[in-house]
Structure 1
């Protein structure tokens, strides 16, 4: 079986598994599986955008490969496959930590990142919502070293599979308790705080994707005792263009009731309209009231990444008690 075939099966199987686990062991009880915006995220972001951007990114990488020739040296090609994959997982995860942190402290980068924070519900699918420019930047930087350093042809597919599965996991609405593993491995317990829109600055923490150790080492970890504090709401408090799946006007509703096909067409057209509007929305003027979102303290207002420490760090407290 070809690598792309079995990695695709793993990703699809993981999606089904997370969907089932969210139903059986939900963190936020009562949250709908097929929430408003579910099919919008699935069709426009997960399928359509991923496919189109994949063609662009790998077309660009093929151009770089052809015109630089560095891949011919196969600098890491002799390493075992698992070592190559592990090397790129760790190095890219460190890059993502710092880039993600910068996104929350830079006006332009926040603009192309805020779409990812717009979902009002966090689940296995919500992590797929990302601005096209953000994907282009991150995945080009992610896969360029893999191609140019002459990694084995299977490495991009395997790493992409792990990225996809882990992205679904950390955004999932599953009630898990990783305990002290949260010192090293990132999970939904910490990442859901990053997506919270509570009164504090929780979204200025937990920037890690796979390895939570970056947050602990660089002082941005936030993991309060769940018996003391839980996220109250998610998303961002501003007028982001939203998916209008249930927002047909009266005239459209009248047409939709007469013909199922017309109903589907109207929903699809309006969803595409909102998707395009969200892309353009990133280039609007930056308002002064938004400064608080990216300047949580004095250091970040000077362009430096912000540091955040939680008041109720359950892991640190457990260590002291031990």
Structure 2
């Protein structure tokens, strides 16, 4: 049993690492096409981002692999495969529940990480990316990576979710994590500056966090930032960024 759990954890870590390399690599390539020269001179930083991110992939993969084994071998979780087990309307609702829960956890732990001692001990690794690139999404100190790695594995014990809906949550998590750091806005201006943009976080919103540090702590939604008075609006990209 122990060997099976270990194998599952290592396999999941490899999957997370490959997912990171493909997604960040894809957005980095898109940046080269859409914003040529944007990452010029940042090669040493990018190498550090990749190294920290691959270490984070190992940390993220361990609890995910243990939970995956528990789901398959022991039926521990509330992940289900029969689409008829719950009403169809619950599929999008479960995705929103997971995103809202993850966003809440991220907001408060992220804000906590900005306390001076914790920032110096852990979160400074992420903010060492100046400016952040598409490779920085998982560039975390191990302690910070651990705080993020436990969220989704914990939620699958609490909130029922279809395996496809869980895949949707993980896809959104990956894409938003990378695109919010790539240094330019991929969404159209009418969306970012319109009604949807007032509640959704995109690269423009997260850029302000990397500029000022003490604001814009959310991951997907601006709800907690608005409720707690930490929303400072949209940031500006350096010359050559859109």
Is the pair's TM-score, using the shorter chain for normalization, greater than 0.5? Answer: yes
5 Å-filtered alignment, 1:77-88, equals 78-80=86-88, 81-88=91-98
Tell me the matched-pair count: 214
1:56 to 56, 59, 62: 62
Match of 1:193 in 2: 208
Match of 1:174 in 2: 184
Shift of 1:172: 0.9
Shift of 1:231: 6.3
Match of 1:243 in 2: none
Match of 2:215 in 1: 205
Confirm or deny: 8 A CA contact 1:61 1:140 kept in the other structure: no
Indicate the SS of the match to 2:148: helix
Give the structure-1-normalised TM-score: 0.54
Kindly provide the CA deviation profile for residues 187-240 of structure 1, in whole angstroms up to 9, marking residues without a partner as x. Answer: 1112112112xxxxx2100101111233223211113685xxx669xxxxxxxx
Indicate the SS of the match to 1:113: helix
Larger radius of gyration: 1
Structure 1 residues 11 and 40 mapped into 2: Cα distance closer, same or farther (>3 Å)?
closer
Match of 1:31 in 2: 39
Confirm or deny: 8 A CA contact 1:193 1:231 kept in the other structure: no
Shift of 1:114: 1.8
Confirm or deny: 8 A CA contact 2:204 2:234 kept in the other structure: no
- Partners in 2 of 1:129 and 1:56 — Cα distance? 17
- Partners in 2 of 1:173 and 1:33 — Cα distance? 14
Shift of 1:83: 2.6
Structure 1 residues 152 and 98 mapped into 2: Cα distance closer, same or farther (>3 Å)?
same
Unaligned runs of 5+ in 2: 1-11
Structure 1 residues 149 and 189 mapped into 2: Cα distance closer, same or farther (>3 Å)?
closer
Kindly provide the CA deviation profile for residues 9-40 of structure 1, in whole angstroms up to 9, marking residues without a partner as x. Answer: 987665454224323443x9653286223234
Confirm or deny: 8 A CA contact 1:123 1:172 kept in the other structure: yes
1:45 to 31, 45, 52: 52
Indicate the SS of the match to 1:171: coil
RMSD of Structure 2 on Structure 1 (CA):
3.8
Would you say 1:134 and 2:141 are equivalent positions? no
Give the structure-2-normalised TM-score: 0.70
- Partners in 2 of 1:29 and 1:45 — Cα distance? 24
